[in-house]
């Protein structure tokens, strides 16, 4: 089996019943909170998929496309900025796992 880097593996993440390009976000982050009152930006350190990043000006950005649904940010964010909802839950919108 071909050995892939973490970045290459994350690039293979896809979603149930969706192609990657039309995927609807299951996590919405209010980055106004991140970039105004949040004192620690902890999710930029704990997300294993690097979905939370800081730019050269220290501004927090979020992208859900590489999210592996580990749930860490839901518990790590104590500022009320993370909203987790599956759009169209009746047909399933979560990450599609290769082995289950
Ligand atoms: S901890 Fe919450 S408010 Fe702070 S940067 Fe992360 S998501 Fe934004
Ligand atoms: S659920 Fe996990 S992988 Fe997804 S954005 Fe939150 S911390 Fe990152």
Percent of the chain at pLDDT > 90 equals 48
Please check the confidence at residue 85 and state whether its pLDDT lies above 90: no
Q: What is the pTM of this model?
A: 0.84
Q: Give strand pairing partners of 46.
A: none
Q: Which domains does the chain have, with CATH numbers?
A: 6-96 (3.30.70.20)
Q: Is-contact 16 92, C-beta < 8 A?
A: yes
* Pocket lining: 34 vs ligand 1, CB cutoff 6 Å: yes
State whether the beta carbon of 72 lies less than 6 angstroms from ligand 2: yes
Please give the pLDDT value at position 28: 93
| Cα(77)–Cα(83) distance, integer angstroms | 10
Q: List, in order, residues 6 or more apart from 79 with CB less than 8 Å away.
A: 33, 34, 37, 38
**pLDDT tens profile 20-59:** 677 778 899 999 999 999 999 999 999 998 999 999 999 9
Residue 92 confidence (pLDDT) above 60: no
Instruction: Determine the distance separating the centroid of ligand 2 and the alpha carbon of 90, expressed in angstroms.
Output: 22
Among 6-15, 30-39, 66-75, the range with the most confident prediction by mean pLDDT is: 30-39
């Amino acid at each position: 089996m071909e050995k892939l880097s973490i970045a290459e593996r994350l690039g293979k993440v896809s979603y149930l019943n969706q192609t990657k390009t039309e995927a609807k976000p299951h996590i919405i982050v209010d980055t106004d909170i991140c970039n105004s009152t949040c004192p620690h930006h902890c999710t930029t350190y704990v997300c294993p998929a690097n979905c939370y990043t800081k730019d050269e000006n220290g501004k927090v950005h979020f992208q859900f496309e590489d999210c592996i649904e580990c749930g860490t940010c839901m518990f790590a964010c104590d500022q009320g900025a993370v909203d987790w909802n599956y759009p169209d839950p009746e047909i399933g919108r979560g990450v599609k796992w290769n082995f289950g």
